[in-house]
C-alpha cells in the first residue's frame, strides 16, 4: 500500500510552512497520531509524517533565518507600532507571528480574512487545528479552513482532505477526503496531488484509476513534494502498460491549475 500523508502540515510547503509546520510540529504531529490511536510507533502513517516533518523543519529554518528579532517583553510602544504598521494580509500577520506576537498575528489575519484574504483565513484555521498559538479547537479550525477553501486556497482544501482522511474533528470519510484533495490538487497543491493520487491508486473514496494516480504523482513530484511521489512513481511504473504510462505523462504535461 502506498503511504498517504498522515498530517495536514505538509499542505502548505510551497507557500512556506503553515502554523502546524513551525518549530516542533513534526514531534507534535507524531504524538497526536499516537494519542488518537491512529498509528503505532512503526506504522507507515508515522513514517510518512516523520519524513514530511523533516522537510518542514528545513523549510522553516530557511524562512526564519532572516526573521526580525522578537520584541522585548513589555515594550508596549514597540509592539503597538509594529502591529499598526503590519499589512493586513497573510504575510503581514505571519511577520508578527515570527516575532512571537501570536494574538496580534491572529487579529491581523482575522482583519485580512474579513477583507477577503484566503491565505489569512487559512492561517487562522491552521492555528486552531494545531493549537500551538491559540487554544486547540477542531470546530474553529475546520470553520476557518472551509472559509479559506471557499475563497480558493489550495492549502486549506488539502488540510480539509486530511481532516476527513484521518477523522480529525470530523467523521472519517474517504470520499469526502478525496473530494477535498482533488480540489486542492486541481489548484496545483503538491501535497493534495500526492494524496489524491494514492486514493486513485488504491480506489479509496474514488473509483480506482491508475492513470490518474500516475498523473498526480508526476505533478506532485514536479511541484516539490518531498520523497513520496517519487517513490510512488517508481513503485507504480512497473505495474502499468506503456500506453497507461504515456497517458499519465501526457495528462501531467497538459495539466493547468485552475
Give a yes or no: residue 195 inside a domain: yes
Give a yes or no: residue 231 inside a domain: yes
The candidate with the shortest Cα–Cα distance to 154, out of 115, 194, 204, 114, is 194
- Residue ranges making up the domain that contains 189: 8-66+116-254
Give a yes or no: residue 194 inside a domain: yes
- Highest-confidence segment of 40-44, 49-53, 173-177: 173-177
Q: In whole angstroms, what is the distance from residue 124 CA to residue 126 CA? A: 5
- What pLDDT, in 10s, does the model give residues 164-195? 999 999 999 999 999 999 999 999 999 999 99
- What pLDDT, in 10s, does the model give residues 234-248? 999 999 999 999 999
Give a yes or no: residue 181 inside a domain: yes
**How many residues are given for the chain?**
258
Mean pLDDT of all residues in 136-145: 97
Which pLDDT belongs to residue 62? 53
Q: In whole angstroms, what is the distance from residue 108 CA to residue 187 CA? A: 26
Give a yes or no: residue 154 inside a domain: yes
Note the pTM of the prediction, 2 decimals.
0.76
Give a yes or no: residue 125 inside a domain: yes
111 within 8 A of 84, measured Cβ to Cβ: no
Give a yes or no: residue 94 inside a domain: no
Domain CATH number, residue 165: 1.25.40.10
Which pLDDT belongs to residue 80? 86
Give a yes or no: residue 137 inside a domain: yes
Specify the number of domains making up the chain.
Answer: 1
Amino acid at each position: 500500500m502506498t503511504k498517504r500523508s498522515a498530517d495536514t502540515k505538509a499542505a502548505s510547503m510551497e507557500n512556506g510552512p503553515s502554523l502546524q509546520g513551525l518549530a516542533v510540529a513534526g514531534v507534535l504531529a507524531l504524538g497526536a497520531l499516537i494519542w488518537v490511536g491512529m498509528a503505532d510507533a512503526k506504522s507507515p502513517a508515522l513514517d510518512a509524517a516523520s519524513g514530511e516533518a523533516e522537510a518542514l523543519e528545513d523549510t522553516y529554518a530557511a524562512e526564519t533565518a532572516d526573521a526580525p528579532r522578537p520584541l522585548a517583553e513589555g515594550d508596549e510602544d514597540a509592539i503597538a507600532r509594529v502591529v499598526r504598521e503590519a499589512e493586513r494580509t497573510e504575510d503581514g500577520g505571519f511577520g508578527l507571528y515570527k516575532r512571537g506576537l501570536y494574538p496580534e498575528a491572529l487579529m491581523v489575519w482575522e482583519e485580512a480574512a474579513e477583507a477577503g484574504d484566503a491565505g489569512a483565513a487559512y492561517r487562522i484555521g491552521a492555528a486552531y487545528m494545531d493549537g500551538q498559538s491559540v487554544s486547540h479547537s477542531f470546530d474553529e479550525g475546520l470553520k476557518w479552513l472551509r472559509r479559506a477553501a471557499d475563497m480558493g486556497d489550495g492549502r486549506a482544501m488539502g488540510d480539509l482532505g486530511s481532516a476527513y482522511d484521518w477523522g480529525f474533528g470530523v467523521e472519517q470519510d474517504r470520499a469526502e477526503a478525496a473530494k477535498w484533495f482533488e480540489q486542492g490538487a486541481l489548484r496545483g497543491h503538491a501535497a493534495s496531488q500526492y494524496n489524491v493520487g494514492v486514493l486513485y491508486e488504491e480506489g479509496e473514496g474514488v473509483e480506482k484509476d491508475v492513470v490518474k494516480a500516475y498523473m498526480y504523482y508526476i505533478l506532485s513530484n514536479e511541484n516539490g513534494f518531498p520523497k513520496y511521489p517519487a517513490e510512488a512513481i517508481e513503485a507504480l511504473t512497473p505495474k502499468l502498460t506503456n500506453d497507461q504510462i504515456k497517458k499519465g505523462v501526457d495528462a501531467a504535461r497538459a495539466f493547468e491549475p485552475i
